[in-house]
Structure 1
Amino acid sequence: MGLYRANPEDGVVWITGGSSGIGRALASQLADAGYTVAVTAREGDEIDVLVAESAGLSGRITSFPCDVTDEAGLEATLASIESEIGPVVLAIFNAGTYVPVAGENLSVRKFRRTFDVNLQGVINGLVPAVRSMQKRGFGHVVLVGSISAWFGWPTTAAYGASKAAINVMAQALKYDLDKINVRIQVANPGFVNTPLLQLQQTASMMPALMSPEDAASRMLRGITRGGFEIAFPKRLVWVLKLTSMMPQPVRHWIIARLTGWSSRPLSFGRSGRRAGRDA
């Protein structure tokens, strides 16, 4: 018997960061595929609009607001979902934030905020979700990383490091989760046109830019097919995978010129632009 793979008949999908971007599009597509979807985002985010839009779909979307940085709150949210609408058989930890970091203007606060949401926010939901799945005897979890996890890009010292941690964590957990019939996948999307992307000052160099709907569709195909890493779009993935194997000096030279970073002034990072969040 193969490793468990989620299907609509077994239970509920839980998505964090589902009020915008990929999470929002994925929630709609999963509901259209017949799933009951529980969406978690912060109070005040536009989840109610998403719920209303799902009225005519095969499945349904329900709202369970919580901030992913609230450990106790997220555990209580999972308990509420399972008691009110059914067991969570697929958990997709998608909530994330992007804070640009410039080397000449470092800030502990930027790193802490990024890791609180992107890494600890995943762990806060992953631990109770896996515990529940283990008791049930099956489950499926997806951690959302990024292509920036493979090597460093300008301004991604905090964001890329948090996503690299997600990838390594998923790789390490797979050995044991396979034994308890809990499938784990990591999704590493390329450049997606979300509110987070609009904050990146490297926007001039974003090849193969995708809409959230396209990205969600690719992610859903990966979830359905199985496999460990869901990385897309392929035309960008293969280029970056090859680049990651180049000697460091060559890779730094290429990235600096592709992004135009070698000619940017040191004043970057002092403009006071605020960070965004898909949560």
Structure 2
Amino acid sequence: MVAPHPSQGVAWITGASSGIGRGLAMQLASEGWQVCASARRQGELDKMAEEAREMAGAVIPVPLDVTDVAGVRAAVDRIEREHGPIALTVLNAGTHQPISAWDFDAGAVQKLLTLNVMGQAYPLEVLLPRMIARGAGRIAVVASVAGYRGLPTAAGYGASKAGVINMCESLRPELSGTGVTLQLVNPGFVRTPLTDKNAFNMPMLMELEDAVASFRRQLDRDKFEIVFPWRFAMIMKLLRILPYGLLFKLTTRMVPKREPAAKETAR
């Protein structure tokens, strides 16, 4: 399929106020795209619009909570009514919270699943019928290499990303021949405000500018999966095929050390 072009419509990016989403929005605007940028932080979106004033394209703030399906539908209606058809979408909204066996929190798991899975599913519900009817459109859904296999402290995050991967793998063959291209994006560690919170070593950490450049190059191709950095992605793919015995020998070494519980003082 031919890569989408600004002449075909607008781009829409969720999770656009920081990190990869922000970087990609600004890159597309510099290329002449009208980029509808969505996130919950209106102030950050307004800053992006101001920064893009001198670019060939523009950033158009569309504040949105992607876990509100009615809000998603209203946002898409507004974008297409005011700015034209959505030709390119990057569903990037998501978050991370470490969860371990020692302090397992089902409520935290639910929050991760709601944002990381349903925050992708609601836009798909609204977009797919429109793009299929037009016979054109490209949607890139951001998951993570953490969804390849279960890893320590990622019981909630990894489960949510695995769900997104499975969802996209299921949809891709059904969209064959419709004119709609669905892509899955699996980043490794990228330096963003989200990963800055991590207290552990992040192998092959990629700088944001390099990650955005790699993402942008691969976005124009028709291959299903976009990965970066590719060496780390290949290592993670190997974990997918390891038998459990060997897998657990490796992942047990990744378990963070816990401070021994303080002994109760006798009274």
Q: Which TM-score band applies after superposition, normalised by the shorter structure?
A: over 0.9
Segments of 4+ moved more than 6 angstroms:
none
What is the match of residue 115 of structure 2? 117
Shift of 1:264: 3.5
Q: Distance in 1 between matches of 2:12 and 2:256?
A: 42
Contact 1:16 1:40 in 2 (8 A): yes
Q: CA deviation at 1:31?
A: 1.0
Distance 1:150 1:265 in 2: 29
Which of 238, 241, 247 matches 1:251?
247
Q: Which of these residues, 72, 75, 79, is aligned with residue 74 of structure 1?
A: 72
Aligned twin of 2:184: 186
- The DSSP-based 3-state class of the residue aligned with 2:102 is helix
Deviates more, 1:175-184 or 1:114-123: 175-184
The CA deviation at 1:43 is: 4.0
Counterpart of 1:47? 45
Aligned match for 1:27, one of 18, 25, 28:
25
Q: Which residue of 2 aligns with 1:222?
A: 218
How far apart, CA to CA, are the structure 1 residues paired with 2:215 and 2:188?
A: 11
Q: For the residues of structure 1 that align with 2:221 and 2:156, how far apart are their CA atoms?
A: 31
> For 1:1-40, what aligned pairs fall within 5 Å after superposition?
3=1, 5-40=3-38
Question: Is the contact made by 2:144 and 2:186 (CA closer than 8 Å) also made in structure 1?
Answer: yes
Counterpart of 2:220 in 1: which secondary structure? Answer: helix
8 Å CA contact 1:69, 1:124 repeated in 2 = yes
Q: Which residue of 1 aligns with 2:54?
A: 56
TM-score (norm 1): 0.89
Partners of 1:31 and 1:57 within 8 A in 2: yes
Q: Say what the alpha-carbon RMSD is for the aligned residues.
A: 1.6
SS in structure 2 of the partner of residue 113 of structure 1: helix
Q: Which of the residues 152, 161, 179 maps onto 1:163?
A: 161
Contact kept? 2:17, 2:41, Cα under 8 Å: no
Q: Tell me what 1:270 maps to.
A: none
Asked if 1:211 is matched to 2:207, the reply is: yes
- Indicate the structure whose relative CO is greater, using CA pairs within 8 Å and at least 6 residues apart: 1
| Whole-Å separation in 2 of the counterparts to 1:265 and 1:250 | 27
Q: Distance in 2 between matches of 1:125 and 1:200?
A: 29
Hey, what's the Cα distance between the residues in 1 that align with 2:156 and 2:249? 21
**The residue matched to 2:155 in structure 1 has which SS?**
coil
1:44: Cα distance to partner? 3.9
Q: Deviation of residue 189 (structure 1)?
A: 0.4
In structure 1, distance between residues paired with 2:145 and 2:208: 16
Structure 1 position 262, deviation (Å)? 6.0
Instruction: Give, in whole Å, the separation in 1 of the partners of 2:80 and 2:26.
Output: 20
The answer as to whether partners of 1:145 and 1:187 remain within 8 angstroms in 2 is yes
Distance 2:116 2:257 in 1: 30
Q: 2:233 aligns with which of 214, 230, 237?
A: 237
Distance 2:51 2:195 in 1: 24
In 2: Cα distance, 1:211 partner to 1:57 partner:
23
Q: Counterpart of 1:175 in structure 2: which amino acid?
A: P
Task: Give unpaired runs (5+ residues) of structure 1.
Answer: 268-279
Alpha-carbon spacing, 1:145–1:104, altered in 2? closer, same or farther (3 Å): same
Greater shift after overlay, 143-152 or 173-182?
173-182
Identity of aligned pairs, percent?
Answer: 37
Q: Deviations over 1:88-137 (max 9, x none)?
A: 01111000011211112111210111011000011111111111112212
Mean Cα deviation higher: 241-250 or 102-111:
241-250
2: distance between equivalents of 1:21 and 1:266?
Answer: 36
Preserved CA contact (<8 Å) 2:95 2:116: yes
Larger Rg: 2
The secondary structure found in structure 1 opposite 2:56 is coil
Partner SS, residue 140 of structure 1:
strand
For the structure 1 residues 262 and 39, does the alpha-carbon distance in structure 2 shift closer, same or farther, using more than 3 Å as the test? closer
Aligned pairs, number: 261
